[in-house]
């Protein structure tokens, strides 16, 4: 019987959720992800040289598909898959489609067909990966664009993956985190934004599972984020090192 007989229950573990973490290069995104539960980095660009981590270099789309196939078989210790960065993964997908179609640019096929082929292929593979029983994290760089309001024009920070890919990732993930450096009276500090604002893209669906929202701003530290996610005081969070002031990578 394919139809369910019982309701599903909200997931309680952080690794059951998918996350998009974006921000400026070198702000500490990779360091943050390296503190997660048994992470495997699928690295589409350099940037992990200063970290001790499990890494597979992904220079092209075919390699990414093969790695996804290996992950789907299980029999490995990894519990969190980190795509670092999804920006370059989208480019890998685009290069694969252009080579397959024998074209130089997505527009060469006409009527938007090239763009649609890339979008369909990217969604096809990413969706399958998201259904595997592992945590899934995307990292991305940041870009800004002008948004006109009734009274002014503001710059909004968004992930730098092209719009078609961005729409797929934003619609898929449960938590969107924006990492930025903020100036204070004591100097610059690195923070993550968890809630939407007119100046940045962010969001958190876990409130439906836990009945509360993440704080709108947290230090850029996985330990602090984990404590907030589980609503625990600092001394109750097991494992992990506070990485707020450590050298950042990625």
Q: What CATH number has the domain bearing residue 70?
A: 3.40.50
Instruction: Say how far apart CA 67 and CA 75 lie, in whole Å.
Output: 13
The answer to whether position 1 is within a domain reads: no
Return d(Cα 2, Cα 180) in angstroms, integer: 45
Q: Which residue, among 101, 41, 51, 16, has the nearest Cα to 241 in the 3D structure?
A: 51
Please report whether residue 187 resides in a domain. Answer: yes
pLDDT value at 188 more than 60: yes
pLDDT at 28: 93
Lowest mean pLDDT among 29-43, 125-139, 146-160, 206-220: 206-220
pLDDT of residue 41: 97
Q: Work out how many domains the chain is built from and give that number.
A: 1
Residue entry with tokens 């990492």: 179
Coil/strand/helix, residue 240: coil
In this prediction, residue 247 carries a pLDDT of 43
Residue 209, pLDDT above cutoff 90: no
pLDDT at 212: 67
Q: Does the residue 201 lie in any domain?
A: yes
Instruction: Give the span between the Cα atoms of 97 and 114, in whole angstroms.
Output: 8
Please indicate, yes or no, if residue 208 is contained in any of the structural domains. Answer: yes
Residue linked to tokens 């940041």: 142
Whether residue 250 lies inside any domain: the answer is no
What mean pLDDT comes out for the span 107-124?
90
Quickly count: other Cβ atoms within 10 Å of residue 152's Cβ.
Answer: 7
> Does 248 map to a domain?
no
**Would 175 be classed as within a structural domain?**
yes
* Residue 13 scores a pLDDT above 90: no
Using CA atoms, how far apart are residues 201 and 215, in angstroms rounded to an integer?
A: 15
In the predicted model, what is the mean pLDDT of residues 208-224? 84
Structural domain containing residue 220: 14-236
Mean pLDDT of 97-116: 88
Quote the mean pLDDT of the chain.
Answer: 88
Q: Is the pLDDT score of 141 beyond 80?
A: yes
Contact (Cβ atoms closer than 8 angstroms) between residue 221 and residue 228: no
In a domain, 2, yes or no: no
């Amino acid at each position: 019987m394919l139809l369910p007989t019982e309701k599903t229950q909200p997931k309680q573990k952080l690794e059951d959720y998918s996350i998009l973490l974006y921000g400026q290069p070198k702000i500490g995104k990779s360091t943050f992800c390296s503190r997660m539960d048994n992470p495997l980095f699928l690295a589409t660009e350099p940037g992990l040289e200063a970290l001790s981590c499990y890494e597979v270099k992904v220079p092209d789309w075919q390699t990414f598909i093969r790695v996804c196939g290996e992950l789907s078989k299980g029999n490995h210790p990894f519990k969190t898959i980190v795509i670092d960065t999804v920006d370059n993964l989208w480019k890998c997908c685009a290069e694969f489609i252009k080579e397959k179609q024998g074209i130089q640019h997505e527009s060469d096929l006409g009527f938007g067909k090239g763009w649609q082929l890339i979008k369909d292929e990217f969604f096809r593979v990413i969706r399958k990966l998201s259904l595997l029983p592992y945590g899934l994290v995307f990292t991305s760089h940041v870009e800004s664009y002008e948004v006109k309001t009734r009274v002014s024009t503001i710059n909004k920070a968004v992930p730098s993956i092209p719009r078609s890919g961005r729409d797929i990732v934003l619609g898929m993930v449960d938590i969107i985190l924006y990492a930025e450096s903020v100036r204070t009276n004591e100097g610059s500090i690195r923070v993550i934004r968890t809630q939407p604002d007119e100046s940045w893209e962010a969001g958190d669906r876990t409130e439906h599972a836990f009945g509360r929202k993440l704080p709108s701003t947290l230090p850029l530290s996985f330990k602090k984020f984990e404590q907030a996610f589980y609503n625990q005081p600092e001394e109750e969070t097991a494992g992990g090192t506070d990485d707020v002031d450590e050298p950042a990578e990625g």
